[in-house]
């Protein structure tokens, strides 16, 4: 009976430690994602502003279409690149958040 209580107490302590480590990893991961999104938002705003200035300064319809086409192409490529990067950050976040529980789960499955 005492053995079972000690085992349960150790399992609870291991779970609590894993949870704290998981929350720390999640916090760091979400910080990276927030910084990345803020940088991307600033970059998109700056690029949009520059494209608008070029568009307003265009002397002909052909030049305006060229400026708009270049902007759309660049915006699309930037979006795809950013989406890939964010996907990698979220995947890394999930892996880091799961790591603390790997040993706890392994112990729980081997002790049965």
CB 89 within 8 A of CB 35: no
Query: Which of the pair, 72 or 9, is modelled with greater confidence?
Result: 72
What's the confidence (pLDDT) of residue 2? Answer: 65
Residues 30-41 have a mean pLDDT of 96
Given a cut of 80, is residue 5 above it in pLDDT? no
Closest CA to 68 of 53, 55, 81, 56: 55
What does the pLDDT average to over 81-108? 89
> Which helix (H) or strand (E) element contains residue 45?
helix 2-57
Global pTM value = 0.77
User: How far apart are alpha carbons 107 and 101 in whole angstroms?
Assistant: 10
């Amino acid at each position: 009976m005492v053995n079972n209580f000690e085992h349960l107490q150790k399992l609870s302590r291991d779970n609590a430690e894993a949870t704290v480590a998981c929350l720390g990893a999640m916090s760091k991961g979400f910080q990276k994602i927030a910084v990345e999104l803020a940088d991307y938002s600033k970059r998109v705003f700056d690029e949009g502003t520059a494209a608008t200035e070029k568009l307003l300064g265009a002397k002909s319809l052909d030049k305006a279409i060229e400026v708009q086409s270049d902007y759309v192409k660049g915006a699309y490529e930037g979006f795809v690149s950013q989406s890939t990067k964010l996907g990698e950050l979220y995947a890394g976040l999930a892996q880091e958040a799961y790591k603390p529980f790997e040993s706890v789960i392994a112990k729980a499955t081997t002790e049965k």
